[in-house]
Structures are given as structure tokens and as C-alpha cells.
Amino acid sequence: MNIPHLLQQLHGGEARGVARAISLVEDQLPGAEQLLAGLDRQRIEKVLILGLTGPPGAGKSTLTGELVGVLRRQDIRVGIIAIDPSSPISGGALLGDRIRMMQHALDPDVVIRSMATRGRLGGLCGSAGAAARIMAASGCRVVILETVGIGQSEMDIVRLADLTALVLAPGFGDDIQAMKAGILEVADLLVVNKADQAGARRLQLDMGTVFSDPGDREDRICATVASEGAGIETLMERIFFFEQLYRQDGRLQERRRRSFTLETLDWATEMVKARLQEKMKTPRFECVEPRQAALELVRGLVNEKVNYKKI
């Protein structure tokens, strides 16, 4: 693989270059380190990584399509990373999203990538973070990271974002009550989507109780009808408003440091796991209990001088 050429392609904004670069890193192929080290740091500094999360069916994909529309009308290049919980074989959730993104499919300034959570080789966190930076280096000013649900792995993914919007809709009552307490830990903005449906107003009032500050209640809750494109421009304005605020008060830099730690740990875990699996192919243990064997294995690994570039 000719890495300088690949870097040139992706920095020039070529979709094929971006796709190949992400695959190289995701599959942990030789040259991945060189590629990542060669990315345009200034563009990475400028990008906004926007997390979109919420229960399935709330309207995240529809909203993503609409946000992309708003950004493209401002001539802003945008990347989308859709974290797909379905198996790579069934591909169920992907199909619907692909169809919804059709309106942007031919736009060279919309870069789309799906990542499966199941059946993958490397860690998700590290790969998603790297993909976001590759997109940024290709000229994307905004990268949208769409995840489903609020389980632990989604939380980790959301922590890669500079700013996160939680998408809710009427009719998800129990889900919402269950996660209400944790909302502020993850969400900078609350989107009450499907504002055309009964119960939206009540949901919005209910969400208001999450914030003690009336100003926050005003600024951090947005009502949208994604399927009709209503409220999207206001939402995008709020997103940029908070981006500016977080850049100025240092929160954005703090979050980048946090995601650096998360991603590093993810890569390191993957590397060690791969090495352990390699060693387990010819296990020779002097003990009878797996826990003891594990200790022996880990001790052996620590004493080893491995060329980790190879794994």
C-alpha cells in the first residue's frame, strides 16, 4: 500500500481514498500507523464531532439526513459514521439508513461510513475515532456519529464526540424514564423529535425538569419534525453555538483528551488480546486452573519483547 499516495488522495477529498484509509485502519493492516500520523492536524483541530444517540425509531437517521441538508446548503462538507448494531450478515438496520441517505448519496462532499458492532476484528471505539479524524482530514467540517441506544458500548462511542445530542420522541415513555437520571451525563442537547405527534409537548415539559437552570431549558431542548425538515436549522445553530462555547471554555479540549484516553485503551486492549490469542494456540501451562494459567500467560506477555507494530 502506497501510504503517501493514499494521504494525498484523502487530503484532496477523494471518497475512494477516505474509504480505503478507514478500511486500512479498521482492519489493522500494515501502514495504518504511518497513515494516521500523516493526517492534517489542523483540519482535525477544526472538526466538530457530533454524537447523535437515542432509542431506535426516534428519528436519528432522518434527522441526520436533514442536518446534512442544512450543512450542505451552507457548503459545509460533512461525514457520517453510522454505528450499526446489527450483524454484518443480516445488515438489517443499515438498509433503512442507506435509503434515507440516498438524497445525499451522489454528493461528493457527503462521506458516509457504517461500522458494525458485532463480528468485527478490532475495537469499535478506536476505529470510529480514527474514521472521524480521517474524514476531518479529508475536509469534513462536521462529522456526525450516529449510535443506537444507551448501553455501555454506545456510551463509550458517545464519549468520542465533542458534543452529543440525545434524540427522543413521544411514545418511548419507559425508555425515557429509565434513562432520565443519566441524560445530563451524556447529552449536551435534547432533541424532542416527532413534535407533530401527540405527547410531544408533554415530553418536552418533562425533559425540562432535567435542567435546573431555565436558560438551559431554553437553549438545550430543541423540538423537531425531522420527517418534514422542521426545526432543523435552529437545532444546527444551537449545535454550533455550544461548539463555540465549549471551544472557548476549554470543555472541547477536555473531551478530546478524554477520547484520546478511551481510544488508546481500546487499541491497546485489542493488541494485547490478539497477542494472547496467538499464544493460546500453543498453550503450555504448568498449572491446572484457568485463572492461574491466565496469570502465567499475562506474566509471560509482560516479560516478552514483542514487536507490537506487527499485531
Ligand X SMILES: Nc1nc2c(ncn2[C@@H]2O[C@H](COP(=O)(O)OP(=O)(O)O)[C@@H](O)[C@H]2O)c(=O)[nH]1
Output 39 or 115, the one with its CB closest to Mg ion.
115
What is the rounded CA–CA span in Å between residue 22 and residue 79? 12
Select from Mg ion, ligand X, none the partner in contact with residue 17, using the beta carbon and a kind-dependent cut-off of 5 to 8 Å: none
For residues 141-200, which are near ligand X according to CB under 6 A? 193-194, 196-197
Q: Is 225 in the site for ligand X (CB under 6 A)?
A: yes
| Count of residues near ligand X by CB under 6 A | 15
For residues 75-104, which are near ligand X according to CB under 6 A? 96
Output 60 or 133, the one with its CB closest to Mg ion.
60
Which one, of 159, 155, 163, lies nearest residue 241 by Cα? 163
| Count of residues near Mg ion by CB under 5 A | 2
Beta bridge partners of 190: 166, 221
Backbone angles phi, psi at 80, to 5 degrees: -130, 125
Select from ligand X, Mg ion, none the partner in contact with residue 4, using the beta carbon and a kind-dependent cut-off of 5 to 8 Å: none
Q: How far is the CB of 92 from Mg ion (least distance, A)?
A: 11
Angle, helices 15-26 vs 3-11, to 10°: value is 130
What is the rounded CA–CA span in Å between residue 119 and residue 135? 24
For residues 61-100, which are near Mg ion according to CB under 5 A? 61
Q: How far is the CB of 159 from ligand X (least distance, A)?
A: 20
Output 87 or 264, the one with its CB closest to Mg ion.
87
For residues 37-66, which are near ligand X according to CB under 6 A? 56-62
Output 95 or 280, the one with its CB closest to ligand X.
95
Which among 52-60, 66-74, 258-266, 269-277 is the span making contact with Mg ion, rule CB under 5 A?
A: 52-60
Q: How far is the CB of 131 from ligand X (least distance, A)?
A: 19
Select from ligand X, Mg ion, none the partner in contact with residue 62, using the beta carbon and a kind-dependent cut-off of 5 to 8 Å: ligand X
Give the gyration radius of the chain's Cα atoms.
21
Output 192 or 239, the one with its CB closest to ligand X.
192
In the 8-state DSSP scheme, what is residue 153?
A: H
Output 18 or 225, the one with its CB closest to ligand X.
225
Query: What does the per-residue mask of binding to Mg ion show for 220-259, with x meaning CB under 5 A?
Result: ----------------------------------------
Q: What's the grid cell of residue 263?
A: 481510544
What is the rounded CA–CA span in Å between residue 196 and residue 70? 20
Query: Alpha helix (H) ranges present in the chain?
Result: 3-11, 15-26, 32-37, 41-46, 60-73, 92-100, 124-137, 152-158, 173-179, 183-186, 200-208, 214-220, 232-249, 251-279, 290-303
**Encoded amino acid at 153, one letter:** S
Q: What's the grid cell of residue 248?
A: 472557548
**Please, are residues 27 and 130 in contact by the beta-carbon 8 Å criterion?**
no
What is the rounded CA–CA span in Å between residue 302 and residue 299? 5
Q: How far is the CB of 101 from ligand X (least distance, A)?
A: 10
Q: Which residues here bind ligand X, judged by CB under 6 A? A: 56-62, 96, 193-194, 196-197, 225-227
Q: Which residues here bind Mg ion, judged by CB under 5 A? A: 60-61
